[in-house]
Amino acid sequence: MLLRIVDLGLIDYQEALTLQYSLIEKCSREEIPDTLLLLEHPHVVTLGKRGENSDMLFSEDVLSSRGVQTAWVDRGGQATYHGPGQLVGYPIINLRHHQRKIKRFVHNLETFLIELLGRHYHIRCHTEDNYVGVWVENRKIAAIGISIHKGVSMHGFALNVNTDLEYFSLIIPCGIQGGGRGVTSISKELAGEVAVEAVKQQAGPLFAEIFGYEATEFISKEDFQEYL
The residues that are catalytic are: 174
Report the alpha-carbon distance of residue 103 to residue 114 in Å, rounded: 16
**What residues contact residue 206 under an 8 Å CB cut-off, 6+ apart?**
112, 115, 116, 119
User: In degrees, to the nearest 5, what angle opens at C-alpha 220 toward C-alphas 205 and 10?
Assistant: 95
Please state whether 47 falls in left (phi above 0), alpha (psi between -120 and 50) or beta: beta
Report the alpha-carbon distance of residue 171 to residue 59 in Å, rounded: 10
DSSP letters spanning 18-64: HHHHHHHHHHHTTSS-EEEEEEE-SSEEEE-TT--GGGBSS-HHHHH
Tell me how far the alpha carbon of residue 112 is from its chain's centroid: 12
List phi, psi (to 5°) of 206.
Answer: -70, -40
Q: Considering only CA atoms, which of 73, 69, 71, 72 is closest in space to residue 83?
A: 69
**What residues contact residue 82 under an 8 Å CB cut-off, 6+ apart?**
13, 40, 41, 43, 44, 45, 46, 88, 158
